[in-house]
Amino acid sequence: MSEKRSSEALREFISETEEIVETINLDLVTLAEKLDSGEYDPDLINGIFRGAHSIKGLAGMFGFDDLSQLAHRMENLLDQLRLGKVPFNQFTVDALFNAVETLSRLINGKSEDEHFTLDLSASFERIEQAALGKAAAGDDPLAGLAIDSAILNVLTEYEEHRLLENIKKKRNLHLVRVDFDLSSFDQELAELTQQLKQQGEVISTLPCIGDIGERISFQVLFGSERDQADIRALLGRDSLDIRTFGESAAPAAAAAAAVGMVFEEPPPLPAANGETLPATADAGSLRSISRTVRVDIDKLDLLMNIVGELVLSKGAITGISERLRSSGEKELAGDLTKATRILERRLHDLQKGVMDVRMVPVGQLFEKMTRIVRRVSNEQGKKVELDIRGADTELDKLIIEDVSDPLMHIIRNAIDHGLETPAERREAGKPEKGMICLWAAQKGNHVVIEVRDDGRGIDPERVRRKAVARGLVGEGQELTRSEIYELLFLPGFSTRDEVSDLSGRGVGMDVVKNNISQLSGMVELTSETGVGTCMTITLPITLAIIKALIVKVAGQTYAVPINSVQETLMIDSSQVRTIERREVLELRESTLPLLRLDRTFSLAHGGRPADQKLFVAVVGLADKRLGFVVDDLLGQQDVVIKSLGKVLAFVKGVAGAAELGNQKTILVLDVAGLMGEALRGESVNHV
């Protein structure tokens, strides 16, 4: 049991530290954007500092000295940065990014083997070098400031630094005293602090010591561009006293008397975030603010499998009800049908609830890409801006995880292959900073993710020449632009003449396509030379329980995911035409390519009368459409997709298997894979 508890505790540690690292990474990205202006929100540094401190404590509890030491050194550097002891420059920010990258690698490694470690000497050295960049000391600007020493003496080192920063920016310094009702002072003080933060920086919050009675007073030291009249009008309170300090302010003694700053004993120390810390750590509450419960995805899978079995049982009960009705037991069959409908509604609610738990915003995926963009752009010496939209679009957690590596490779390719160097962009009349757009949107039962860049684009003629040189196409063979771009997804194909650390080795895009196809998704590429490239990934929202259209082909039964089915048709054989050796159907003034599933899977049909009616299931992903020609449509049914396993992973056109209510197992068609192969005119593996 102790080993199990240890294993569960380790998983919790990995999960929590991973979340903290992702938050730190996002805050560092925001901090790096402030390098040009040199001004940043101090709360940003405080948040990163607290994150490093949390990782240090957690790692220490588990005996991970390497993690703890790295987080500790990172924490020290952040402390010096927030106190103004080291300069806010590119070198310091890069050292912090390097530390976060190393933290992430350590955490990922320990998730596989808790004894995993790395050589941290390089990271330690970078942090030490950044820490040596001491800010030059100057004259004390507080010497001539008419702020009572009783106030200055109780400021923490950090608050004193923030006070100096406000003085350097020539802001007005206000000491705002407000009386609150004792029963509601905490809420009112928080509201007041929030109002002030919108107009400047709250440097410190101090209690007033004296005869409290039914009311309590607080003083807020506040820096702002606003003058005293503006602050008074903003707050709009009766019990309000404001004193402004500076060279023209009243003498310190008069200011102290005005605000009643007489301390008989040191007050509780103000925290960095403006809240008052208790005298001892034990006095604080240990209750978690978050109401989020982490659930292992394997547990959700188990729950979803149980729901799937219940769905199948419901289907079996429906079949029994129909058999009872046909045997003459109409009353009993009617009661069973009513009970089945109630069960169906409850199952639907349960299924939806489990699915909602599995759904996560793609923002979790996009957040990981910010670090990739920054690191790769620095390595390539390119300036890149990332535009993220639709981060709240939701996808199944498992799909999010499985698509992360393909998306990472696409973004790396966009920076390495697509975006030009700053010098090349200037010559082309473009801004020095390239743009990569990462957009997501839900379209029906699918999510579409677009990765766009405004780089050099892909020259189709160059791709064609490479393909001819490698014998993939004939010298005189005519290819459309989309067919040329499809060549980029062939194994080993690359337009790079030289090999880089990122790409050009002839691997990658075929793996990207295969990985996305395994998720029943599609990837498409469009490009314009000199303008840029767009990679579009279309994915189903979930791969768990789906509603499927059951079809029959040459005596075999298949399931087609209903989220890909746009409509079903019954046509005469005479309506099918052949254009360029492909069967098509004229449908509402547009041409619909057809795919005969019996020929695709080499099924013996036994002959079909020429005048026999044909059934067509029109499927579509993104803006592509295709008609599956089948013998019969057997209706819709909820199915649970099961993987075919690694042994049959090579089979194209099949997404998995599903069990029907009559204990019969059928194959679920991979719509995206079949469409991709059919629209390119390629054959599908026989099954």
CATH of the domain at 165: 3.30.70.260
Tell me how crowded residue 674 is: count the other CB atoms within 10 A of its CB: 23
* 607 burial via Cβ count (<10 Å: 0-12, 13-18, 19+): exposed
CA proximity to 214, closest of 191, 250, 175, 182: 182
In whole angstroms, give the CA distance from residue 25 to residue 74.
Answer: 13
* Residue bearing tokens 């005048």: 611
Q: Which pLDDT value is given to residue 659?
A: 75
- 139 is a domain residue: no
Residue 413: name the closest of 458, 446, 444, 448 by CA.
458
| 268 occurs within a structural domain | yes
Q: Are residues 523 and 559 both part of a single domain?
A: no
Residue 454 inside a domain? The answer is: yes
The two tokens of residue 658 are 């599903």
Phi and psi, residue 30, nearest 5° = -65, -40
Residues of the chain with pLDDT under 70: 1-6, 8, 134-146, 148-150, 209-213, 238-239, 246-294, 492, 494-508, 543-544, 605-611, 622, 645-650, 661-663, 679-687
Q: What whole-number distance in Å separates Cα of residue 315 and Cα of residue 667?
A: 18
Distant-in-sequence, close-in-space partners of 667: CB < 8 Å, separation ≥ 6: 558, 559, 654, 656, 657, 658, 687
Is 204 a member of any domain? yes
Last residue of a domain, one of 97, 131, 165: 131
Identified catalytic residue from 16, 46, 53, 76:
53
Catalytic residue at 115? no
* Separation of alpha carbons 112 and 7, rounded Å: 11
Q: Are residues 42 and 119 in the same domain?
A: yes
CA atoms within 13 A on the CB side of 392: 0
Give yes or no: residues 531 and 411 share one domain: yes
- Reduced DSSP (H G I as helix, E B as strand, rest coil) percent helix, strand, coil of the chain, to 5: 45, 25, 30
Query: What does the alpha-carbon distance between residue 383 and residue 377 come to, in Å, rounded to a whole number?
Result: 6
Q: Are residue 368 and residue 354 in the same domain, yes or no?
A: no
C-alpha separations of 190 from 218, 269, 581 in Å: 11, 17, 73
463/529 same-domain check: yes
Instruction: Assess whether 551 and 647 both reside in one domain.
Output: yes
DSSP state of 416: I
377: domain CATH number? 3.30.565.10
* 352 and 376 belong to one structural domain: no
Q: Rounded CA gap, 62 and 224, in Å?
A: 44
The secondary structure element, H or E, covering residue 177 is strand 172-181
Q: Are residues 642 and 652 in the same domain?
A: yes
- Domain-embedded: residue 285: no
- Rounded CA-CA distance 510/488 in Å is 8
State how far the Cα of 609 lies from the Cα of 604, in Å rounded to an integer.
15
CATH number of 106's domain: 1.20.120.160
Task: Spell out the SS3 assignment of 461-519.
Answer: HHHHHHHHHCCCCCCCCCCCHHHHHHHHHCCCCCCCCCCCCCCCCCCCHHHHHHHHHHC
Domain end point (choices 540, 562, 578): 540
Q: Does any domain span residue 242?
A: yes
Q: Do 228 and 245 contact (CB within 8 A), yes or no?
A: no
User: What's phi and psi for 528, nearest 5 deg?
Assistant: -135, 125
Same domain, 384 and 520: yes
- pLDDT for position 687: 38
Which long-range contacts does 1-9 make (Cβ < 8 Å, 24+ apart)?
9/62
CA distances from 674 to 402, 482, 517 (A): 21, 17, 10
**pLDDT computed for residue 622 by the predictor:** 67
Q: What CA–CA distance (Å, rounded) separates 455 from 435?
A: 8
Count of beta carbons in the 10 Å neighbourhood of residue 210: 11
For the chain, how many structural domains are there in total?
5
Catalytic residue among 22, 75, 486, 524: 75
| Residue where a domain stops, chosen among 272, 306, 336 | 272
Residue type, 637: Q
- Tell me if residue 25 is catalytic: no
Estimate to the nearest angstrom the gap between the alpha carbon of 186 and the chain centroid. 35
Judge if 550 and 668 occupy the same domain: yes
pLDDT digits (tens, 9 = 90+) for 272-305: 344 443 433 333 333 333 345 667 777 777 787 7
Q: Give dist(CA 317, CA 402) in Å, integer.
A: 36
Of the candidates 342, 312, 310, 336, the one whose C-alpha atom is nearest the C-alpha of residue 324 is: 336
Q: Are residues 485 and 549 in the same domain?
A: no
pLDDT of residue 522: 86
**CA gap 513, 492 in Å, rounded:** 13
Q: Based on the residue annotation, tell me whether 379 is a catalytic residue of this protein.
A: no
Dihedral class, residue 512 (left if φ above 0, else alpha if ψ from -120 to 50, else beta):
alpha
Q: Which domain holds residue 120?
A: 2-131
Residue 290 lies in a domain: no
Is residue 103 classed as helix, strand or coil in its secondary structure?
helix
Residue 234's pLDDT is what? 82
Determine the pLDDT at residue 378.
84
What does the alpha-carbon distance between residue 306 and residue 329 come to, in Å, rounded to a whole number? 31
Question: CA torsion sign, 62 to 63 to 64 to 68?
Answer: positive
Regarding whether 189 and 314 lie in a shared domain, the answer is: no
Residue 281, domain member (yes or no): no
